[in-house]
Amino acid sequence: MFPRKKLNGYEGEMRPFKMIGNLYYVGTYQACSHLIDTGDGLILIDTGYANTLYLVVHSIHTLGFNPKDIKYIINTHWHWDHTAGTAELAGLSGAKTIIGKDDFEAAKKYFTADITVKDGDVLSLGNTSIRFVETPGHTKGTISMFFDVTDGGKTYRVGTFGGAGANTLRKNTFEYENARSDYFNSINRLRNEKVDVFMANHTWNNDTEEKSKVLLETGENQFIDEALFPKFLDFCEARLKNIIEEESNM
């Protein structure tokens, strides 16, 4: 599935929903935003585009939460489709903003982070502790994260690949030297993580829209599937290998 190109009006609007436990989806079709209710304040992961921020804010309200209760905004990487709404939402909520240490300077185009994180850092708030893993490649400072949620008396591990896109991995698009080798290394590191619930960067990474419809209509939670994350990593690895092979044959 490919992203819808139009970003005006309500194009890209998605119905917000409880994904699992205290994790909620509040993003658009084009760019994911996830909300965690820690019981001691909210954590938002990525804000999306500036001109769709109103949809994210509306979704937060629709689920019964107040954006002013957001304590932290985590940005998976500096690109505008994930961070362009961060400064405005931080101003509204008073939230502290977070980004990977090696994306701090690039992110200044959209906001100046209050906190930078590196490998092994942990953010704890209320009932949630998020562990950060540096996974460069898509950008130099891409961060992935892992945390537990409880649902139906069971504990599940949530995980994400913070920047899986290949658009910066083609010839003449590299953001920095060794981006491709870093990307392969990041994939290999992520294979060591057990993930029960794959939280996507973009909806087409894990079929967020389709799975949400099933969840809302039937109650079946297809997001709970430990095979989804390694399958996505396989896809990412194969895609880059194909790009390299195609370029070698040009």
Contacts 24+ apart (CB under 8 A), 128-131: 128/22, 128/36, 128/38, 128/43, 130/43, 130/74
Q: Does residue 90 have a pLDDT over 90?
A: yes
Q: What is the pLDDT of residue 8?
A: 57
Q: What is the pLDDT of residues 191-205, one digit of tens each?
A: 999 999 999 999 999
Q: What is the pLDDT of residue 249?
A: 87
CB atoms under 10 Å from CB of 191, counted, come to: 12
| CA–CA gap between residue 183 and residue 40 (Å, rounded) | 35
Q: What is the pLDDT of residues 27-56, one digit of tens each?
A: 999 999 999 999 999 999 999 999 999 999
Average pLDDT along the chain: 95
Q: Does residue 3 have a pLDDT over 90?
A: no
Q: Where are the beta strands (DSSP E) in 67-142?
A: 70-74, 96-100, 115-117, 122-125, 128-134
Angle at Cα 38 formed by Cα 36 and Cα 43, nearest 5°? 45
CB 33 within 8 A of CB 46: yes
Q: What is the pLDDT of residue 7?
A: 52
Which of 3 and 209 is assigned the larger pLDDT? 209
User: Does this model's pTM top 0.85?
Assistant: yes
Query: What average pLDDT does this structure show over 60-83?
Result: 98
Query: What average pLDDT does this structure show over 93-121?
Result: 98
Instruction: Render 164-180 in DSSP notation, one character per residue.
Output: --STTSSTT--SSTTHH
Q: Does residue 5 have a pLDDT over 60?
A: no
Q: Where are the beta strands (DSSP E) in 1-142?
A: 17-20, 23-25, 34-37, 42-45, 70-74, 96-100, 115-117, 122-125, 128-134
Name the token pair of 191: 């294979």
Q: Does residue 2 have a pLDDT over 50?
A: no
